[in-house]
Copies of this chain bind each other. A is one copy, B any other.
Amino acid sequence: MADPGTLPSDLDGSTRAAVMADVARLAGVSHTTVSRVINGHPSVRESTRHRVRQAMTALAYRPNSAARTLVTGRSRVLGVICMDPTYYGPVSVLSAVERSARQSGYAVSIANLPGLDRRSLTDAVDFLAAQAVVGIIAITPHAATMAALAHVPAGIPIVAVEGCSGAVPTAAVDQYLGARLATEHLLGLGHRTVVHIAGPADWYEAPERERGWRDALTDIARPTPSVERGDWTAASGYAATRRILARDRLTALFVANDQMALGALLALHQAGLDVPGDVSVVGFDDAPEAAYYTPPLTTVRQDFAEVGRTGMDLLLEQIEGAARSTRRVITIPGLVVRASTARPPNDQGRHTA
């Protein structure tokens, strides 16, 4: 005994949503014509197009994406694979990706990686593939998962962001360059050498930054102190710094990210060392907080939003027909000098060229 007289504009869920046939009936055309109007097909008379448009608004018609996906075989959904997005970098990239995806008319479905093994990566790909995503952006700065990327079926467009897999197109920041910038900044201030706290070896960025640091030193024949390693957290930066302090003295410290640098600042402070009076510190990332550490941190700035957008561009390029390339678009990082770096102690007025 449902009331058939209910207003068609009734949106509160009590009546079924309007479908294409309803619009067609109201506009006095066939459902095919409605479809044509929606998809911008050229051969529809202007007056008809107008009538259909009116009917659509009158009924608050929304195309059913499931039906669409079923018949075309492709959805308007992009998949994003990310590690536990708690670090500043991945989060910023995710945010930028979502933004540009929406601008291009795509929805974004996310899949967190529970672990770092190949299995969880393929699971995530399967999970997204089951949703008929039309492409995948993988924010996986982790070496093992990057390797797994090479093995995803070629049928589905995929792009890596922040990382370097030889197998798929990639958008990333030049980590090596950033590390050189940081190290050379310290050397330029007059420090004899620079101690490095690296990130976990199984992430892509960590060895790259370490390599940049090492090359900057060896290029001018400076000794390379042995590397301490953290896991990106402030806690690990703190612990690594304490190990270094127990080992020998230092005047310059390059830490592989800002959070670990924060831990380093605390350890130095607790050891009675002044930054930058006794020790200079440089970080990496330029997280928003870095400018407000005590002291404000000199660091390497990565434009994550830019990287995210670039990744989207690469993906769309692939979706729109290009075969999977191995293109690699790199973004240039920049050094942001703040108050955590200065000349080494007892270096009165050394004049550089």
In the complex, the answer to whether B102 meets A95 with C-beta atoms within 8 Å is: no
In the complex, the answer to whether B62 meets A129 with C-beta atoms within 8 Å is: yes
A64 partner, pick from B109, B132, B234, beta carbons under 8 A: B132
Interface flag for A154 (CB, 8 Å): yes
Interface flag for A272 (CB, 8 Å): no
Q: Which residues of B contact A102 (CB under 8 A)?
A: 111-112, 127
Interface flag for A182 (CB, 8 Å): no
27 A-B Cβ contacts within 8 A? A11-B153, A12-B153, A12-B154, A63-B130, A64-B132, A65-B131, A66-B132, A85-B91, A86-B92, A86-B95, A91-B91, A98-B111, A102-B127, A107-B127, A107-B131, A109-B109, A234-B289, A234-B291, A234-B292, A235-B291, A235-B292, A237-B292, A266-B294, A266-B295, A269-B294, A293-B294, A294-B294
A288 partner, pick from B64, B65, B107, B234, beta carbons under 8 A: B234
- Closest Cβ of chain B: how far from A169's Cβ, in Å? 17
A293 partner, pick from B11, B14, B85, B262, beta carbons under 8 A: B262
Tell me the bound Cα distance from A131 to B85 in angstroms: 24
In the complex, the answer to whether B99 meets A95 with C-beta atoms within 8 Å is: no
Binary B-proximity of A281-295 (CB < 8 A = 1, otherwise 0): 000000011011111
Binary B-proximity of A63-92 (CB < 8 A = 1, otherwise 0): 111110110000101000000111000011
In the complex, the answer to whether B62 meets A66 with C-beta atoms within 8 Å is: no
> A102-B112, A153-B12 are known contacts. Are A262 and B292 too (CB-CB below 8 A)?
yes
> A292-B235, A292-B262 are known contacts. Are A70 and B62 too (CB-CB below 8 A)?
no
